[in-house]
Each structure stands twice: as structure tokens, then as C-alpha cells.
Amino acid sequence: MTSALPYANGHIHIGHLVEYIQTDIWVRFQKLRGQTCTYVCADDTHGTPIMIRARREGIAPEELIARMHAEHVRDFAAFEIAFDNYYTTHSPENRELAEGIYKALEAGGHITVREVEQAYCEHDRMWLPDRFLKGTCPKCRAADQYGDSCDACGATYRPTDLIDARCAVCGTAPVRKLSDHYFFKLGDFARELQEWVGGGHVHPSIANKLQEWFSEGLRDWDISRDGPYFGFLIPGAQDKYFYVWLDAPIGYMASFRNLCARTGQDFDAYWQADRADETELHHFLGKDITYFHALFWPAMLMGSGYRTPTQLAIHGFLTVDGQKMSKSRGTFIQARTFARHLPPQALRYYYASKLGPDPEDLDLSLEDFVNRINAELVGKLANLVSRAARMVLSKLDGRTCEPDPAAAGMIDAIRAAADEIAGHYESRNFALAVRRICALADEANRYLEQTQPWQTVKTDAELARQQLSAALEASRLLAVYLKPVVPGFVERTEACLAIEPLTWASLSESPSPRTLGEFQRLADRLDAKAVQALIDETREDQAADK
């Protein structure tokens, strides 16, 4: 299991977290069911932006990426993202694998070298890749566009087509120079790629979109960059570096190899083409990098003897209140800022309640976010445990017993939903899983309202104990279903119920009388004022950065 690698040039924000939370939920579900499932990721550390930022800060690129790595690890931990290994692409494992894959492609005749004309900044004495050129779009004449694509009309073009081009670093006009570049002949794998894309490894809508690329013909891919560049040198070349997009996905393999060296897992069983039937490989990623993962990446693997992915799980973009994340509106929210103002588990729950298997955009409606967390996570799920446990602790010596026989139908219905909820998780339809869990919680809360153990305890303490024990058994079963989404919530529930960590197999276990542990708050109500404070701080931070 992998998520796309976050770039080491910036902080984790709530848009990134859609993917990492989505992946983490799926991984936790697989582990809960007893699968051997390994989740690896890494910082994407190479490229011109890293080099430029380090130069501006007066530090070595290695110092910059080490600092960002520590900050990324901190932010992921705050949102309970549980990687088995979180590594870096600037590693000996990645260098070795990248060189090996390149040499295999070269030996297979899939690498060619030819001269290209590109922009060069004589002031900064550096070649200018796409995103370090700005100018006027050659198609719609929109100003201040990048050298590879136009945000205004969506056109793509060559950097040399840009009108009135200027260096994005210093603002001077570049000159044009010729340089030898190395290309991967992607078209050599057109037939195999088309079969792979059509084999159910991507969502049907993505497969249809990719047909446009096949129809136009797959073009050679420029995999080299001229120095100065922060990255790996191409073997046998003079001052030529691997383009970051070549070694970045290889970082998935490198992170796993690093883990294997520590744990004794079999790297080849997961990655060698002739052993692909033994294991599965799943990549979670955003739709903006589909092209790289659905064409370049599998072609590189095909040409070097490695297996191709089992599935690409592709998601859409995050919008906030129906609009793109915005610095001026204060909705371009960093993970660490969110965690200072609001509980991270609330965002995990909200994303889960909205995520489906399709590559559609997800909207974070701030008003709906507050209302849903308060109504569902707090009002239905936490409240069920809270009411029952607190009453047992305060009125009945903290001891539970066999559940009320009259609650058998309600408890059985929760157990009977196991296959349905598992199917929703497996298909990545987390929204349906959450909806079903909440419906079951409604039934359990309705049982409490109908039996009113807070009244029963005044006349029949043992019947009240049975009724509250039934509610707590319902809470235990619901906690199994919730564990992939809000693991911290469930850990506190386990501690209160004085039970071992729950697994999917716990659903078939019979309830046993026990003495409850100390009650801990499971979830706090959200306040619209806290959300506004988060927006205000984000807006102020962005103004200061600008």
C-alpha cells in the first residue's frame, strides 16, 4: 500500500490529508481483518524547487529535506496516519533502484538521446524547467502563466512557446540553448499499457480518459535534467540528472526495501514480475498525477522486470465550501494549524463520511462539518458509550453483566451488518460504511431511550445493569466497525470497556461481564467559533508569508 509522496518543499495541508486519511482507513481495515498489509510512503525530495529554496535559505538541500521530513512525520502522526515505514527518496536504496531500472530500460533499447532547445537563465546560471518560466499563454494570451500549461484556458504547450517568457526566480528574460536530453520511449509499451489500463486496474472513467492519450500516440518522455539540479546523476552521463518524476515513484520500492532490511520481509515477493500472483500492490493518488502513475510508472516497471500495480485508487480534489482552497479566504489550511484548533479525528470522520470509490472532488463544507460531527460522532456514537458507561460507573459499581435478552434483536442486527460494512470498506465506499454504522447506532440509542435505564435503576438495579450492558455491547460491536476511521476514539472505548484491542474477529465474541475502566471523553462537540478562529489564523499566516 502506498500514498503519493508529499513534496519536501512545503507543509502538509488538509487537501493532502484526503489521500493519506483515505489510504490509512483502507490499510487499517485490512489489518483489522487479519491481512498482512504494509503501508509505505516517503518524502519526494528532488528537483529544482528544493534546490532553489535551499539556496534562498542559505542551507544545503539535505538540511532542508531533513527538516521537512520531521515536520511531515509530526503532522501525519497528529492525524493518526500509521505508516509502516515513512522514508525519503534521497536514499541509497532509491539511487540503486533508479539506476537499475534505468540500465534495464537502456539495455532493452527504450532510452534515446537527442538535442532539445530549452530556456536558460544567464543571471542565475541555470536551466529553467517548466515551472520556473512565466509568461503569456500562446493560446489564450493570459498573462503570468507557467511554462508548461495555462491555468486560464487549460492549454498545454512547450516552454519555448511561452510569449514574453521570464525566469520565475529573478524575472529576467531567458535565452535559448541546445542540450542533449535522455528520453524514455513510452510508445514501446503502448500495447501492454492499453491492455493493463483496460484490465480493471483503474476506475472506468479514468480508463476512458486515458484512451485520449493512446489515440494521440504516446510520446517519448524526457527523463533528464541539466545541472545544477538536486537529484541523482544518470549513470554514464555528464552533468545530467534523473528528472524527479523518474525516481519519485521508485521511492515506493525504496521505502519498502528499507523496511524489508529491518524486518526480514521479502522484497522480491512483492515486486518481481514473476511473483506478482503472490501479492497485491495498491497505489492511492490524486487524479492530477494519474498520467504518471497509469502510463509512465507501469511502463518503467514492465521494461525492467518488475510487477505492475494491482490497482490505482484515484481520488479527486478537495474544495472548501464549494470553492478551491484559497489563501486569501483562509481555507488553504495546514495540517498543524487545523490540529491546534480542532480535533484531527473529526476531520478523519468527516472525510470518511464523504469518500467514495470514484475520482470525484470532495467538498469540506465547514457548516456541515460542524453539524455532522456534533450530530453523528458526538451525538450518536460517543453519546451511546458515554451515557451507558458513566451510569454503570456511578450507579452500579462499574460492573456489567449479560445483556438484556430483550436487546438480542438489536445486537444481532449490528453483528449481521458485518459483511455489508466490510464490502463498503473493501470497495473504498467509506461514505456508505459510515452511513450504515450511524443507522445501527440510531437503533442502539433508540433502545436506550425506550428502556430508560436511568429510571429503571431506581426500582430494579439488576435490570438496569442488563439494559446498560446491552448498550455497551452494541458500542463494542460498533467500535469494531469504526476502528479504521477513528482509531483513537476506539482505543479510548476499549480502555473504558476494559477489553483487549478489537479486531474484526471480535464481532463473533460473546459479551462477558467485566469491571469497566475509567471513562475518557471520546469526542468533543465542535464550535463554529473555533472553525472561524482556524480560518482567521490561516488567513493571517498566509498574509505574513506573502
CATH number at residue 36: 3.40.50.620
Position 545 confidence tier, pLDDT thresholds 50, 70, 90? low
* 461 has a pLDDT exceeding 80: yes
pTM: 0.94
Asked if 511 and 476 count as a contact pair (C-beta separation under 8 A), the reply is yes
Single-letter amino acid code for the residue at 302 = M
Does residue 210 form part of some domain?
A: no
Are residues 109 and 247 part of one domain?
yes
Specify whether 288 is located in the same domain as 363.
no
Contact yes or no for 222/115 (Cβ under 8 A): no
DSSP 342: S
Under DSSP, the state recorded for 305 is: T
Which pLDDT value is given to residue 546? Answer: 59
Query: Quick one: 352 and 459 in the same domain?
Result: yes
The bridge status of strand 175-184 relative to strand 221-222 is antiparallel
What digits encode the pLDDT tens for the residues 305-355? Answer: 999 999 999 999 999 999 999 988 999 999 999 999 999 999 999 999 999
Answer yes or no: is 4 within a domain.
yes
Give the whole-angstrom CA distance, residue 23 versus residue 7. 18
Is residue 36 domain-resident?
Answer: yes
Distance in angstroms (rounded) separating the CA atoms of residues 17 and 36: 24
In a domain, 116, yes or no: yes
For the sheet with 175-184, list strands across it. 126-127, 111-121, 175-184, 221-222
Confidence of residue 156 (pLDDT cuts 50, 70, 90): confident
DSSP 414-450: HHHTHHHHHHHHHTT-HHHHHHHHHHHHHHHHHHHHH
Q: Do 357 and 310 fall within a single domain? A: no
The helix/strand/coil state of 500 is: coil
Q: Find out whether 284 and 313 touch, Cβ atoms under 8 Å.
A: yes
Q: Using one digit for the tens of pLDDT, what is the confidence trace for 75-87?
A: 999 999 999 999 9
Decide if 365 is inside a domain.
yes
Asked if residue 355 and residue 434 are part of one domain, the reply reads: yes
| Percent of the chain whose pLDDT exceeds 70 | 99
Cα gap 375→217, rounded to integer Å: 52
Distance CA 84, CA 72 (A): 15
In the block, which residue shows the cell 438496569?
A: 464
Same domain, 249 and 370: no
pLDDT band at 99 (very low <50, low <70, confident <90, very high): very high
Please, are residues 264 and 152 in contact by the beta-carbon 8 Å criterion?
no
Q: Which range of residues forms the domain containing residue 69?
A: 1-128+174-187+220-315
Kindly state the cell numbers that stand for 502.
478489537
Report residue 405 CA to chain centroid gap: 43
Q: Indicate the helix (H) or strand (E) that contains 520.
A: none
Q: Is the domain of 263 the same as that of 383?
A: no
Identity at 365, one-letter amino acid code:
S
Q: Are residues 364 and 457 in the same domain?
A: yes
Same domain for 236 and 93, yes or no, is yes
* Total domain count, the chain: 2
Question: Per the domain annotation, does 264 fall within a domain?
Answer: yes
For the sheet with 2-3, list strands across it: 85-88, 40-43, 2-3, 282-286, 311-315
| Dist. CA 79–CA 17, nearest whole Å | 8
As a whole number of Å, the CA-based R_g of the chain is: 27
Interatomic CA distance for residues 312 and 281, integer angstroms: 9
Question: Is residue 63 domain-resident?
Answer: yes
CATH of the domain at 474: 1.10.730.10
* Burial of 422 (C-beta count, 10 Å sphere; 0-12/13-18/19+): middle
Indicate the average pLDDT of the chain. Answer: 95
- Amino acid identity at 135: G
Residues 305 and 352 in one domain: no
Task: Please tell me whether residue 282 adopts helix, strand or coil conformation.
Answer: strand
Which phi-psi region, left, alpha or beta, contains residue 239 (left: φ > 0; alpha: ψ -120 to 50)? left
pLDDT in tens, 359-418: 999 999 999 999 999 999 999 999 999 999 999 999 999 999 999 999 999 999 999 999
Same structural domain, 299 and 359: no
Whether 532 maps to a domain, the answer reads no
Q: Which pLDDT score, from 0 to 100, does residue 291 have? A: 92
State whether 306 and 358 are in the same domain: no
